[in-house]
Homo-oligomer: A and B are copies of this chain.
């Protein structure tokens, strides 16, 4: 059994309502939402953070962005817009050591971003 929370979601050991899924990416709601729309988009492969992406892994980022485009359409925020946030390491407050993109939408976002 994997020790990584998100790997366990990928393996369906922990149930999560998938809002999007393809061969390399899965997306589900954040359990502690910070906006009306707050979805986590993750690679199924375990990659800890941006800095851990190998040259071969970098294409996963393209797949994640394709998923984000699909989600924005599906969730009706294509025109209103969204903020995409990736926390990498301690200063950013990365909470789970499995790369994840926060897709936030449904309200106006302030600046600075935290």
Contacts and interface: CB of A to CB of B under 8 A. Distances in A.
Interface string A46-73: 0000110101001101100110110010
A69 B105 CA distance: 27
B113 A83 contact: yes
Interface size range on A against B = 35 or more
Q: How many copies does the complex hold?
A: 2
Interface stretch (A10-18, A20-28, A85-93): A85-93
A69 B79 CA distance: 30
Contacts of A84: 50, 85-86, 88
A61 to B, nearest CB: 5
Q: Which of A55, A72, A84, A112 has the most CB of B within 10 A?
A: A112
